[in-house]
Every structure is written in C-alpha cells, then in structure tokens.
Structure 1
Amino acid sequence: MSSPSDFRFRATTAFQRYLANPLMRRLPFHTLLETTGRVSGLPRRTPLGGRRVGDTFWLVSEFGERSQYVRNIQADPRVRVRIGGRWHSGTAHLMPDDDPVARLRTLPRANSAAVRTLGTGLLTVRVDLET
C-alpha cells in the first residue's frame, strides 16, 4: 500500500508534468531551470521559483532527490537558469545541510507556500551563475 506522501508525490508530479509545466514554460518571464537529461542528453526545462542573490540563484526542490531535475543535476551539474527573460549559465550544487524551510522564507512567497504544502523531501539547490 502506498503512503500519503507517495500519493502526494505522484499526484503533484502528474499535475506538474502534464498541465502546469507546459503552460509555465510558455510564459516569457517565468523562471526556468534547464538541465541536461541524464539518459537522453537533451535539454530539460523546468519552471520553478527561486531568487537570485548576486551571482547565486537559490531554489528549494519540493521532492528532493526524487525530483527529475535534481537527478539530472546529480549526473551533470552544468545548468542554465532563465531569470527575467534572460538565460544565465551556471553550476548547480545540492545543499543537504542547508535548512530548506528557512531558505523558503527568503524566496518568493507564493512558490514557497506551494513547496512547503506539497513537498515531502525538501532540498536546497544553489546555482553559482557565471559572470
């Protein structure tokens, strides 16, 4: 029998994959994270919330290492982030020792509320942007 957190993960990822993400990717100023698919080698673009602080972009993955983009980062940490309609190359770092709940308090409020509500394995990700 599956646990409530497993059901939440499956329901949320299905909603994101088939409805929310295809719509959000089309919005010209929505923040996107582009990773390289670990199996396909193709670019994978994921809409997300986060905040740029200087030459660093911070985000929190709601499902931690279960998130496909986190698994792609583990295979290849070179990423691109679209912020305000402009693409920036960078290197992503998983931050398991960072407090993701405290980090969410510093990120955009609406996205952070959704991540806290739906997430089952929060994980902070830091992207060091190339200047």
Structure 2
Amino acid sequence: MSRYHELKFQAVTAFQRRVGNPVTTRLPGQVLLETTGRSSGLPRRTPVGGRRKGNEFWLVSEYGEKSQYIRNIKADPRVRVRIHGRWHTGTAHLVPEDDALARLRILPRLNSAAVRAFGTNLLSVRVDLDG
C-alpha cells in the first residue's frame, strides 16, 4: 500500500471509529453487520451498505482484508445482518474473484459512492442467510 493510501486509510478509519460508526449504528434504518471479535469474542457491529438478493446479502469492503470486520469474518464466518430492523443469521464468504466495482453498481448508491471514494482495496463479501 502506498504512503498516500496508508494515510487515507488511517484518516478514514479513525473518523469511522470515533464519529461515523457510533452515530450510524444507532440509526434504525442502517444495515448492520455483526461479527464476533477475533480476540475478545464480543459482538462487533459495523454499519455497511449492501443489498439482499434472495437468501444472500452482498456488500463490498472498502479496505479488503485490512478491515477489522473482514479479519473477524476470517476468524469466524458466522455473522448476523440487520436489514430493515430485523436480524438475520448467516455465514459470510469473502469473494475476491467477484468484480467489486461492478458489484457496487448494483448496491445502494450513497454507500457505493463512499466506498469508491475512500476505498483502496475493494473486496466483495457474500453472506448466505439462514432461512
């Protein structure tokens, strides 16, 4: 990762951790991804932009395997997703062969624009929802 991308990553993640995520996780319509902390074992909730298609929920990580929630998924792929105020359990899969830019074109516009603007290593994620 270039020095520019590293500084961008640090600035954006600091803002998200301290300001963005604490505010958006409280919004009733915000989609949340809940992973299990790989060290703590505690639930970790991250606001995400994605879309459900049948029994799948798709999202794109802006920092790929550097994202904390992706690292949590790698340690334990069992997740929960809050969509329209309802929690759904499922299993997350990293899909590096998927075209993340093409995927963003079919996901919610506002979030997709932010991911394109701030992201440096896009990675598609598919959550297979239980039932």
Structure 1 residue 29: Cα displacement? 1.8
Q: Which runs of 4+ in 1 moved over 2 A?
A: none
Identify the residue that residue 106 of structure 1 maps to in structure 2. 106
Structure 1 residue 15: Cα displacement? 0.5
Structure 1 residue 58: Cα displacement? 0.2
Structure 1 residues 73-88: aligned runs within 5 Å: 73-88=73-88
Structure 1 residues 108-123: aligned runs within 5 Å: 108-123=108-123
Q: Under a length normalisation based on structure 1, what TM-score does the superposition of the two structures give?
A: 0.98
Q: Distance in 1 between matches of 2:44 and 2:59?
A: 17
Q: Distance in 2 between matches of 1:10 and 1:57?
A: 28
Identical-residue share of aligned pairs (%): 69
Unaligned runs of 5+ in 2: none
Q: Distance in 2 between matches of 1:25 and 1:119?
A: 20
Superposed CA RMSD = 0.7
Structure 1 residue 28: Cα displacement? 1.4
Unaligned runs of 5+ in 1: none
Q: Under a length normalisation based on structure 2, what TM-score does the superposition of the two structures give?
A: 0.98
